[in-house]
């Protein structure tokens, strides 16, 4: 049995919808326990992440999938506060060799969402995690998954708060992919 955690922050609900689809995909892989961990405003006190019980939930995860909306070309302030709070875990190499991946959504077609994915990837790399990319070549998939063509992670787009069904299918696939990769490394 592998344990896969999905850690995300959502403002309008679209990132949460993607997280739920990622969770459904991961849960569809036999032998995978999934936990969804939402970063909420109450976790931030005077600008600092202060929910150490949430961090404790992640200690025995085999894989983590990070999600944040893209704001001003990067992760939300709430997600950044979470990332900053993991410094002691970094020093202890607590997340080293865990599988990681990421997803984001923005209201503009570009909106610098790739930078958000790259931030998540660098964050995972700093922890010594193994990044699992999205292995669906854009515009080559019969189901049109990965419609925006990002290989580093899932990038979704919605300007009206309604998610594209293809982005939800891609999120489901990302959850499956990370669960399969984590199983390979855990056993």
pLDDT tens digits for range 128-146? 999 999 999 877 888 889 8
pLDDT of residue 64: 98
pLDDT of residue 187: 65
Q: Name every residue whose Cβ is closer than 8 Å to that of residue 177 and which is 6 or more positions away in sequence.
A: 25, 101, 132, 134, 135
User: Number of structural domains, the chain?
Assistant: 1
Residue 16 sits in a domain of what CATH number? 3.40.50.360
As a whole number of angstroms, the distance between CA 179 and CA 139 comes to 24
> With bands split at pLDDT 50, 70 and 90, how would you rate the model's confidence at 112?
confident
Helices and strands (H and E) in the chain: how many: 6, 8
Q: Which domain holds residue 135?
A: 2-186
As a whole number of angstroms, the distance between CA 29 and CA 139 comes to 26
pLDDT of residue 110: 74
pLDDT tens digits, one per residue of 10-61: 999 999 999 999 999 999 999 999 999 999 999 999 999 999 999 988 989 9
CA-based nearest residue to 7, from 63, 45, 87, 52:
63
> With bands split at pLDDT 50, 70 and 90, how would you rate the model's confidence at 3?
very high
pLDDT tens digits, one per residue of 77-99: 999 999 999 999 999 999 999 99
pLDDT of residue 83: 97
As a whole number of angstroms, the distance between CA 20 and CA 84 comes to 25
């Amino acid at each position: 049995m592998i344990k896969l955690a999905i850690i995300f922050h959502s403002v309008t609900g679209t990132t949460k919808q993607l997280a739920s689809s990622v969770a459904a995909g991961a849960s569809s892989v036999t032998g995978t326990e999934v936990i969804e961990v939402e970063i909420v405003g109450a976790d931030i006190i005077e600008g600092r992440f202060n929910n150490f019980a949430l961090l404790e939930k992640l200690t025995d995860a085999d894989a983590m999938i990070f999600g944040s909306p893209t704001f001003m070309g990067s992760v939300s302030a709430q997600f950044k506060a979470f990332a900053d709070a993991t410094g002691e875990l970094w020093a202890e190499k607590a997340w080293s060799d865990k599988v990681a991946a990421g997803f984001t959504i923005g209201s503009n077609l570009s909106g610098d969402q790739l930078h958000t994915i790259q931030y998540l990837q660098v964050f995972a790399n700093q922890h010594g995690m193994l990044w699992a990319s999205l292995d669906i070549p854009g515009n080559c998939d019969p189901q049109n998954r990965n419609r925006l063509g990002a290989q580093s992670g899932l990038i979704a787009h919605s300007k009206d708060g309604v998610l594209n069904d293809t982005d939800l299918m891609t999120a489901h696939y990302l959850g499956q992919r990370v669960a399969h990769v984590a199983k390979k490394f855990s056993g």
